[in-house]
């Protein structure tokens, strides 16, 4: 088992009253598997993902339980150890490709950033790697994109760049938080295809967070349905869609307008 989360609870402490946002979250992720976390706003899906990525502030958030990556607990390990996993073995892409890239840095520098942090490659080697990963995410003419700024790219291109910079170290786990929500439908379909391809080629496990059940259905092998901080249901994709156990899951599935062609 690549990643195992056991009884994760997340409690916020930056408000006047402590607030629990995730209760008893359990998850296991095998190598090469794509697992979807489905839920609406306030379901705790993003919080769980951020916790796994080690991006939650240690001070404001009280967390209990275990997040085992290769047998190592990310919640209790040393900060420096956590840093070495981040970007290297676990990386993340976000919903908003407009704000998740630094507007004043060139694409090339941003894609190479984790190479600079985690490896001792020379400038030339880094450049070669960056170009090849930009190729992998199907960016046409990567040499010229390398020298561009984020604002010169479209939303879909930016999301591809984000994926490139997340994938450049060939992480074992890619956490994708609503990566297509802000994109146009045709672009959305392309990004989903790309994620599928990367999963096949590089055996990267993907944790796909989304509110969109139709996306989860096409992409994921298994899914977890969350509501108000709790896991309601978990299972294989076909099982969940064909025989949902919970009323809420049914409601979610029925909320997708049918398209009979």
Partner 1 sequence: MSDVILEVNQLNTYYKERGEKKKHVCKNITFQMEQGEILGLVGESGSGKTTLVKALLGMVKDKEGAIKLNAKMPQMIFQDPYSSLNPSKKIGWLLQEPLRIKGGFTKEEREKKAYEMLKKVGLNDNIFNHYPRQLSGGQRQRVSIALALMLEPELLIADEPVSALDVTIQAQIMDLLLKLKEEMGLSILFISHDLRVVYKMCDRVLIMEDGEIVEQGKVEEVYKNPAHPYTKMLLEAVTTV
Partner 2 sequence: MTIKKKPNYNFIIGSILTGLIVALALVSLVYTPYDPDAMDAANKFAGISLKHPMGCDNFGRDIFSRVMEGTKNTLFVALGTVAIGTVFGILLGAFTGYFGGILDEILMRINDAIFAFPSILLALVIVSLLGSGKYNVMIALGIAFIPSFARIVRAEFLKNRELDYVKSARLMGAGSLRIMFVHILPNTFSVLASSVMIGFNNAVLAEAGMSFLGIGVQPPDASLGRMLSEAQTYLFSTPSYAFFPGLVIILMVLGFSLLSEGISQKSV
Residues within the interface to partner 2 (CB under 8 A): 16-18
Of 40, 73, 81, 125, the one binding partner 1 (CB under 8 A) is 40
Q: With the CA atoms of 255, 224, 32 and 206 taken in that order, what torsion angle do they form, in degrees rounded to the nearest 10?
A: 70
152 touches partner 1 (CB under 8 A):
no
Q: How many CB atoms lie within 10 A of CB 118?
A: 16
Closer residue to partner 2 in complex, CB, 16/185: 16
| 3-state DSSP assignment of residue 191 | helix
Closer residue to partner 2 in complex, CB, 18/42: 18
Least distance to partner 1, CB of residue 168, Å = 26
Least distance to partner 1, CB of residue 242, Å = 19
61 touches partner 1 (CB under 8 A):
no
* Residues in a beta bridge with 174: 91, 206
d(CA 37, CA 43): 10
Least distance to partner 2, CB of residue 59, Å = 16
Residues in the chain: 261
Cβ proximity of 146 and 106 under 8 Å: yes
98 touches partner 1 (CB under 8 A):
no
Closer residue to partner 2 in complex, CB, 16/247: 16
What are the structure tokens assigned to 172, written together?
């074992």
Cβ proximity of 189 and 195 under 8 Å: no
Least distance to partner 1, CB of residue 161, Å = 18
**Which positions ≥6 away from 154 have C-beta within 8 Å?**
187
Site size with partner 1, rule: CB under 8 A: 26
Which listed range, 75-83, 120-128, 134-142, 247-255, lies at the site for partner 1 (CB under 8 A)? 247-255
247 touches partner 1 (CB under 8 A):
no
109 binds, among partner 1, partner 2, none (CB under 5 to 8 A by kind): none
Tell me which DSSP letter residue 37 carries: E
């Amino acid at each position: 088992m690549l990643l195992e989360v056991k009884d994760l609870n997340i409690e916020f402490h930056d408000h006047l009253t402590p607030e629990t946002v995730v209760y008893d979250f359990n998850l296991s992720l095998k190598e090469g598997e794509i697992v979807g976390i489905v839920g609406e706003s306030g379901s705790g899906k993003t919080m769980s993902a951020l916790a796994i990525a080690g991006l939650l502030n240690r001070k404001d958030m009280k967390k209990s339980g275990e997040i085992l990556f290769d047998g190592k607990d990310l919640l209790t390990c040393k900060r420096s150890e956590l840093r070495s996993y981040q970007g290297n073995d676990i990386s993340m892409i976000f919903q908003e490709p407009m704000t998740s890239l630094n507007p004043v840095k060139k694409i090339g520098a941003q894609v190479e950033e984790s190479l600079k942090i985690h490896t001792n490659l020379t400038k030339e080697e880094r450049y070669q790697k960056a170009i090849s990963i930009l190729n992998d995410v199907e960016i046409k003419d990567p040499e010229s994109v390398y020298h561009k700024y984020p604002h010169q790219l479209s939303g879909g291109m930016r999301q591809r760049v984000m994926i490139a910079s997340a994938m450049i170290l060939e992480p074992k786990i890619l956490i994708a938080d609503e990566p297509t929500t802000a994109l146009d439908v045709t672009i959305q379909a392309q990004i989903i295809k790309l994620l599928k391809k990367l999963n096949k080629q590089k055996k990267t496990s993907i944790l796909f967070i989304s509110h969109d059940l139709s996306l989860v259905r096409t992409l994921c092998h298994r899914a977890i349905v969350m509501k108000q901080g709790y896991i309601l249901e978990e299972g294989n994709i076909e099982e969940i869609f064909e025989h949902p156990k919970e009323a809420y899951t049914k409601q979610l599935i029925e909320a997708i307008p049918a398209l009979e062609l």
